[in-house]
Every structure is written in structure tokens, then in C-alpha cells.
Structure 1
Amino acid sequence: MRRGALVLCVLALASCSSSPPPQPAPPSLRALTWREVTLPAADATVQDVAFCDDHWLAVGGLPTGPAAWRSTDGMTWTGVRLAPVSFYGRQSTISTVACRGADTVAVGAASGGAHGNPRTSTWRSRPDGSWLEYEPAFTQFGGQDSVGVGTAAAALGPPAGWAIVGNWLGPDGSPGPALWHSTDGMSFERTLVAPGSSARATDVAPLPGGGGWLVAGEAYGATLTGASWTSRDGTTWTPVPVGGPLALVTPYGDGTLGVGAAGAWWYDGTTWQKRGTLGDANGWRFLALSATSVLGAVTVAAGSSCRLWTTRDGGATWQEAAMPAPLPVTAETVAATAISGDTLLLATDDGTRARLWLTTA
């Protein structure tokens, strides 16, 4: 009896004193050399950035109203002259910008009216470099059937075109993906992409080769799945199956790169192919995705902080890179990206302070 008790005690002591199994080391962050860029204005908010042929653009707002800035080197910025025409346009913040060559379309909004609904308007560049506001009817982007307006995109090739993605109530009263498309960037036509589909749109990109649009999103059922649709004319849509939810899409080389909770996906103009993963992306909020033929970058809100991942092989492999400074996650967090070659511009804004950063990745 005593011997058995002694054996049990020895085994218990051995168990207690043994070391826990070694844990795998966290993947090392890719070190980047960041240069902080002097903001165009000390009290600016920056919501989006883009690279357009030979210059960078940043958009957002000032306490006095909407704002946009232009730079040829990413270091020195000058204000774009804006020409608002509406009451709410003069108070708006510009949230998204798209460009093709020197042509630019942007979307801004200000809350107003009895219910504080967003009053959305579009901006179009003019030959003299200024941007003119185009004020649509309130029901074009708002009203009782509106769910939300998202990002803008420019066509890669002819026919020229512009698109804004969002969500809208369908004839059955359920929300679904919608697209506003335009040939001139001034007057937009709204179409319902997949009414009654139990899906929502998250982003839009031009079809590979130009001439048409790819809307990405998520479909709701027993589980959350991926969804996407393509259209050559912005009116007639074809669903394209994808194996995981898509949060963001962007042109990459001769195809389209998409990212979401299940990882990265590649669209070759016909089908989606699975690429690599970014880690345990469950619960992440994807903030921005940019790419050139040599570099892709995505920012995410993961838990309480923002993180950055890069790829050089079309999304097959990803490596987390060090952010230039900690960026906490808030309801107003912005971590927007734009890329020229292998130069990455990052705009960060936590709702209290906006900053711009450059690096060669």
C-alpha cells in the first residue's frame, strides 16, 4: 500500500516537474525602412490613397470640409482645388478615390437631414486639375432602400468606365450587392447585381483585360461563403463561384487578386484559384489591398492592432511586415495603401491623428 502510494507520488512529481512542450516561435516580421511624410495639413484626415500613372493622390478632409492632395514623389504634397456645388458637398469627407491616367473619380459624403443619413456625392477631375462635385439626387446613393456605398474603381482599358460598389435593398426587401457605373465619371447608373441572393458586396475591381467589372463579396446561408459576379456592361451579371469569402479585390498582373478570411484567391478571367493564407484570419477586418505586377500588400485590423502583409508571387505566399508605428483598432481606423512598382505608400488614421508613410518593400 505504501509502495503503491510512493509510485503514484513519484509519477505525480515527475509530471509536475516536466517542462511543457516547446511552442513554435512566432514568424518573424519582415523589417521595412519607413519614412514618415509630412502631412499636407496638420489637422487633415486621410481616408484613401492611390497611385495614378505618375503621381500619388490622398483624399480625406479638413475641419473646413473635403480635401485632396497630389504628389509626384510621395514626399511633397500640394492641395487639389475642389469645386463643391452643394451644401453637403462643402461639408463632406472624401472616402475613396480611383484614377486612370490623369482622370480621377472620388466619392465623398456628409451626414445630414432629419435622420443624419449620409449625403453622398461624386467628384470628377477636370482638365485644369481641379475636381468638380457632382450632386446626384438623394435617392441615387441614399434613401430608404440604401444599405451602404463602398469603394470606387476605374476601368483598366477601353471602354473607359468607372464604378462604385455598395449594397441596396432588392424588390423583396432584402439587401444585396449593387453597382453604380458610369462611362464619363459624372453621371452614374445603379444596378442590382444579385437581388434576393442573401449576399453582400464588399469590393469591386475592373475585369482583367478591361471592359467590365468584377464585384466580390460574401453569401450568407448555413455558413458564410464566398461570392462574386462579373459583367461586361455593368447591367447583366454572371455569378462566379469562389471557395471563400472575399473582402477585397484588386488588379494584379494579368488577373485579379482577392483576399478574405480563408486567405488569398486568384481570378484569371474565368475561375478563382486558391492561393496562400495570411495566418489565422478569422475575425480580421480587411482594410486595404493594393498591388502592382511585383508587389501586393494588405492591411488588416486583427484584434486590437493593425497589421500589414506583403506578397511578391501573386498571393501564393505572404509575409507579415512591421508597421511603421503601432496603430490601434478603433471604429475610425484607416490603414490605406497604394503601390508604385515596389514603393508602398501607407496612410494611417486612428480618428485622432493621420500620418503618411513611404517604404520600398
Structure 2
Amino acid sequence: MRLAGLVAGLLVLTSCSSAPSPAPPPTMPWREVTLPAADATVQDVAFCDDHWLAVGGLPTGPAAWMSADGTTWTGVRLEPVSFYGRQSTLSSVACRGADAVAVGAASGGAHGNPRTSTWRSRPDGSWLEHEPAFTQFGGADSVGVGAAAASLGAPPTWAIVGNWLGPDGSPGPALWHSADGATFQRALVAPGSAARGTAVAPLPGGGWLVAGEAYGTTLTGASWTSPDGATWTPAPVGGPLALLTPYADGTLAVGSAGAWWHDGTAWQRRGGFGEAAGWRFLGLAAAGDLSVLTAAAGASCRMWTSRDGGTTWQEVAMPAPVPVSAETVAATAVSGDTILLATDDGTRARLWLSTLA
């Protein structure tokens, strides 16, 4: 899952880099588990209340699976309502308790634009596609749609981060927010800011935090907070941010300048994990005293852990080499001391579990 429960101390960082390690990294107790389907693609994973979720697709269309133990998986019944929904791949999932919202898309139309829709869980366990007007997530003003997030409080509210053209025609961060997970309202976070939104996380006191990058003579960090998803206040940060997750009583972020922590008011710098320029950060999940980050760059994958809130990092071994391409996925979810890792290099998807002592 791109966002999971609160974190207090232990962090795990995974990334991909071509830089050689000075010594072989220590190993973690990984074990591979059987994929939900042999020909599945897995794009995101999450831990929700008392079960794991994995989303992606099959050659026949969108797919999602659930598991009580991370080992035995069963398919979720999906009910698409649109032509493109039946062809889509689910790319992101967020949950609160038994409630889940997923984002999916399929390319189509004369220009091959992504046809994005959302999926909402129902009391009987099935997921129903909600097909919006094309201009809600697409159209001439769309720049891109990213990950979904769920609020920390009850009842759950939902958000999807992305980018949209502002009134002056320049791209900037956007947020789609929803009270029911079915109908989303779009808000421009910072029109005309020369910035890009990369991630969204719920604030502990309610509302949302959007983070990203600002473009000028150099690439810098940018973030904004909102109590309602509609009105936004800048939250200056000293480096570009790629991913967010709730952490302790604030929000943990990572990017090319290292790790950062937002205490609800301002950002504080945490530690780094090496030269991260050009890395493509893929997913961040956290629960209890454990958090997990994945990223991709170069030709091989690497992993680090931190036991002091992201101040210092120790490299550990990935369960297996993961070739890096534009399609590489390395998504993580956490429950207690157990990590679920989904890897997909565009040709083969695999699931792994590890429980730390």
C-alpha cells in the first residue's frame, strides 16, 4: 500500500541503483509466496484492517486479490461498468478498515489517452467501478493521475493526487477528494506554481498533505496542506519529495535529498541513504514501528533499514534481483513486523513476505 498505519521507530528503505556496495549487505528472512494468478501483473499492495490486498491486472482485464495471511490469496469480485473499465489495470489502492478505493486506467480513444476510473468496495466484498466524465481525470487539461490515499479518522475520506493545467496553462499539482470514495471533486493545489505533485498523505488531525517538486533554476521541494482538500497553504521544505506516509504523530517523506518529517506544522530534515539523484521512488508503507520504501534507478535494486526514525540507514539485501525498466514495480505493505513486497519488471510479477525479529 502507498499509505498504511502509524509508525514509531524502524524504517526499511528499498531502492534501485547501479552504484556498487562496498560489502555484501546482510540478508532479511524473505520467502516467496504464490501469486494470485500465474499471468497476473501486480501494481500495488496494502494491509487493510485484518487482511492484505493486491491490485493489478490479468490479460482479461482488471484484478484484485485479498489474503488473511499473505500466503493464500482469493480474487475480489470486480464489477466494471464501462468499456475501458473492463480493460483497465488497477494501479493504486488505499483502505481504511474494510473500506477500499482503487484507481485504474486503460488507454483508449483516438489519441490513446488514459481513461481513468475509480473502484469502491461494497459491503458484500465486491468492488464497483465508478466511471466519471472523461474530463474529471482526463481531457485536454490533464497532466496525470497518481496514487490514492485514505484518511486516518472515521468515517474514511479519500484523495487522489495528480497534476492539472491551471488557468494560465501551466501544469501544477491537483487533488481529487471524496467523502464517499465514489464521487471525487478536483481542486487545483497550487496553480501557476511551476511545481509537480507527487504524493498525498492524510494529516493526523484531519485534512491532507500534498508533496512534490518545484521547478526553477534548480529542482527544489514543495508541499501544501489543506483541512478539506479544497483550500491550500504552502508548507516549505528543503528538498524534492517523492513519497509520503503517516509516521508517529506526523508524516514521513522521502525524495532525492533524503528523508524528511512533517510534524503537522513544519518539515524537519532526517537522514539520507546515499546519492539518490535520478531515483524513481515507487512506494511507501508503514505500520507500528516499521516502515518500508521502494524506489528504482540504475540497473539493480538495493534496500536499507533505519531504526532511528530515518536518521541513519543500513543496507540490507533484496529477496532477489529486480531488473529496472520503465515498468518496474516494487510496492510494499506492512502489518506489525511483516512486510509484503510485490515486484514486477514488466515481464514477471512476484510476491514476497518477510517478518523481522
Q: TM-score, normalised by structure 1?
A: 0.91
Alignment partner of 1:253 is 2:248: yes
Distance, in Å, in 2 between the alignment partners of 1:130 and 1:229 is: 34
Q: Deviations 1:110-160 (Å, cap 9, x if unpaired)?
A: 000000000000000000000000000000000000000000000001453
Letter in 2 for 1:80: V
> If you compute each CA radius of gyration, which structure gives the higher value, 1 or 2?
1
* Equivalent of residue 313 in structure 2, options 299, 313, 318: 318
Distance, in Å, in 1 between the alignment partners of 2:288 and 2:233 is: 27
Distance apart, 1:28 and its partner CA? 4.9
Aligned to 1:283: 278
* Equivalent of residue 340 in structure 1, options 330, 335, 339: 335
Aligned to 1:69: 65
Distance apart, 1:331 and its partner CA? 0.9
Alignment partner of 1:39 is 2:35: yes
Distance, in Å, in 2 between the alignment partners of 1:232 and 1:82 is: 33
* Equivalent of residue 163 in structure 1, options 140, 145, 159: 159
Aligned to 2:45: 49
- Give the gaps of 5 or more residues in structure 1: 1-23
Distance apart, 1:298 and its partner CA? 1.3
Distance apart, 1:25 and its partner CA? 7.7
* Equivalent of residue 267 in structure 1, options 262, 272, 275: 262
Alignment of 1:68-217 (within 5 A): 68-158=64-154, 160-209=156-205, 211-217=206-212
Distance apart, 1:308 and its partner CA? 2.3
Letter in 2 for 1:235: A
Aligned to 2:216: 221
Distance, in Å, in 1 between the alignment partners of 2:255 and 2:115 is: 29
Distance, in Å, in 1 between the alignment partners of 2:155 and 2:219 is: 35
Alignment of 1:341-356 (within 5 A): 341-356=336-351
Distance apart, 1:293 and its partner CA? 3.0
Question: What SS does the corresponding residue of 1:139 show, helix, strand or coil?
Answer: helix
| Contact 2:288–2:335 (CA under 8 A) maintained in structure 1 | no
Distance, in Å, in 2 between the alignment partners of 1:290 and 1:312 is: 15
Letter in 2 for 1:94: L
From the superposition, tell whether residues 27 and 269 of structure 1 become closer, same or farther in structure 2 (CA, over 3 Å): farther
Number of aligned residue pairs = 337
Distance apart, 1:301 and its partner CA? 1.1
Question: What SS does the corresponding residue of 1:332 show, helix, strand or coil?
Answer: coil
Question: What SS does the corresponding residue of 2:289 show, helix, strand or coil?
Answer: coil
| Contact 1:30–1:319 (CA under 8 A) maintained in structure 2 | no
Distance, in Å, in 2 between the alignment partners of 1:257 and 1:309 is: 16
Distance, in Å, in 1 between the alignment partners of 2:253 and 2:63 is: 29
* Equivalent of residue 230 in structure 1, options 222, 225, 231: 225
Distance, in Å, in 1 between the alignment partners of 2:72 and 2:144 is: 34
Distance, in Å, in 2 between the alignment partners of 1:340 and 1:159 is: 21
Aligned to 1:308: 303
Question: What SS does the corresponding residue of 2:136 show, helix, strand or coil?
Answer: helix
From the superposition, tell whether residues 201 and 107 of structure 1 become closer, same or farther in structure 2 (CA, over 3 Å): same
Q: TM-score, normalised by structure 2?
A: 0.92
| Contact 1:297–1:309 (CA under 8 A) maintained in structure 2 | no
Distance apart, 1:309 and its partner CA? 2.5
Q: Which structure: greater helix fraction? A: 1
**Larger RCO (alpha carbons 8 Å, 6+ apart):** 2
RMSD (Å) for aligned C-alpha atoms: 1.3
Distance apart, 1:311 and its partner CA? 2.4
Distance, in Å, in 2 between the alignment partners of 1:208 and 1:109 is: 30
Distance apart, 1:188 and its partner CA? 0.1
| Contact 1:300–1:308 (CA under 8 A) maintained in structure 2 | no
From the superposition, tell whether residues 176 and 323 of structure 1 become closer, same or farther in structure 2 (CA, over 3 Å): same
Question: What SS does the corresponding residue of 1:69 show, helix, strand or coil?
Answer: strand
